[in-house]
Amino acid sequence: MMPGAITVRGKDLRRVSKRFSQALTMTFRVQLSRAGLKRLHRHRRAKIHVLVVFVPTRKQAPITMTVPTAVELLCGELSCAGARTPALLPPPPVSSSSSTPEEPGELFFSGNWETGDLSQWTWGAQCPNVNGYVPPPGSGNVGTVSVVTDVVAQGKYAARFDLPAYPSNNSCEVLRKRTMALGTDDWYAQEVYFPADWREPSNWGLALGQYDFQGITGPPVGLDAHSNHVDVGIETGFCPGKNEGCQYNLVRPIAPLGTSLAGTWQQFIVHVHHAADSSGLVQGWWRPRGGTWAETVTWHGVTVQWREGETPNTNSPTADKIGAYRGGDHFPISIWQDGFCVATSFAAAESCL
């Protein structure tokens, strides 16, 4: 079997995912969810649907890629013994320089603004024009967010983020509450409109998205925009203190240097396997709206952060944040965001755009 990942999940199960780099036999211990336990206690002969999905990892491009395969088990009497299990046979290979995983998947979260307000964002907004929010002194949370209908990528609504001229770091972001969720995978879809007068937003760029933000320093994984490219920023491992950098600190261009951003919608999908060891993974895909996907980022390594004396805790509260966050500069700047979601596969994430 080629290198990749196997995920086991189902409506009544707690999802488990394991990555591997060579052929081997794997054993999964999959726990029932709380809802699954209740259902099984009520109905001792209830059948549990278990979906087992294999997604190969591409190492280089172009390559011949085998489309991900899946098998569904029907389990009963507290085990899958005797369940009819179809063979996990690969379909014909697909040759492509920009192939993408095709597991159908599902959505964890949608922040596409189609409610016409900010109610999808479960941890609110760090913007002073929202619900009487008062920025903490020195926070730089001085921008504004508006749900709009004039500049939209999908559906009826999008969000516009405006930052004023300001001497130091400044921001306006909306937040989704979550947990660190070690050992799981998230596929983030994000679409951004850069106005016709787009320019270098500050001396370090402008953060469009901060994924699994822990509040230690910058995000473990995030999207940072510049005048003519967009980077995936990775800052993970041991972090000695705020603004002091972390054990792993690097950037990878997701929209390459020389990309014409001004006056365009740009689409991004970022896959993160959340891990405190080398099993972590970051992948990134990019295309201009209406264009062809290109996988431009692949990085293996730690994808969470910790302080001295701490051990990463899968249940620690974290946040997914999108909006606008930049360094100080003498001019105002605006961006628009639409179609954001968090999903279990590339295909599910792509459906949000």
DSSP per-residue codes, 59-120? -SSSEEEPPPEEEEEEEBTTB-TT-----------EEESS--------EEEEE--TTSSSTT
* Residue 237 half-sphere exposure toward CB, CA atoms < 13 A: 15
For the chain, the structural domain boundaries read 4-96, 107-350
Strands 305-306 and 230-238: parallel
User: In angstroms, rounded to a whole number, what is the distance separating the alpha carbons of residues 48 and 75?
Assistant: 5
Neighbouring-strand partners of residue 317: 179
- How many degrees, rounded to 5, is the angle at CA 236 between CA 235 and CA 241? 85
Six token digits for residue 238? 């041991």
Cβ 103 vs Cβ 55: under 8 Å: yes
Mean pLDDT taken over the chain: 84
Q: Cis omega (within 30 of 0) on the bond before 332?
A: no
Hey, what amino acid is at 278?
S
Element (H, E) at 255: strand 248-255
| Each residue's pLDDT tens digit, 47-60 | 676 767 665 444 33
The dihedral sign for the CA sequence 141, 147, 151, 154: positive
CA distances to 141, 228, 323 from 137, in Å: 9, 33, 20
Among the listed residues 170, 180, 175, 245, the one whose alpha carbon sits nearest the alpha carbon of residue 212: 180
Question: Yes or no: is domain 107-350 CATH 2.60.120.200?
Answer: yes
Can you give the pLDDT at residue 29? 72
| Each residue's pLDDT tens digit, 1-22 | 455 567 676 656 765 656 565 6
Among the listed residues 86, 106, 151, the one whose alpha carbon sits nearest the alpha carbon of residue 347: 106
DSSP per-residue codes, 330-350? SS-EEEEEEEEEEESSHHHHH
DSSP 3-state assignment of 37?
helix
Name every residue whose Cβ is closer than 8 Å to that of residue 324 and which is 6 or more positions away in sequence.
143, 161, 162, 163, 171, 172, 173, 206, 207, 208, 333, 334, 335
Can you give the pLDDT at residue 96? 35
Among the listed residues 291, 294, 320, 316, the one whose alpha carbon sits nearest the alpha carbon of residue 305: 316
| Each residue's pLDDT tens digit, 181-214 | 999 999 999 999 999 999 999 999 999 999 999 9
Tell me if the pTM is above 0.85.
Answer: no
| Each residue's pLDDT tens digit, 267-326 | 999 999 999 999 999 999 999 999 999 999 999 999 999 999 999 999 999 999 999 999
- 132 vs 343, residue with greater confidence: 343
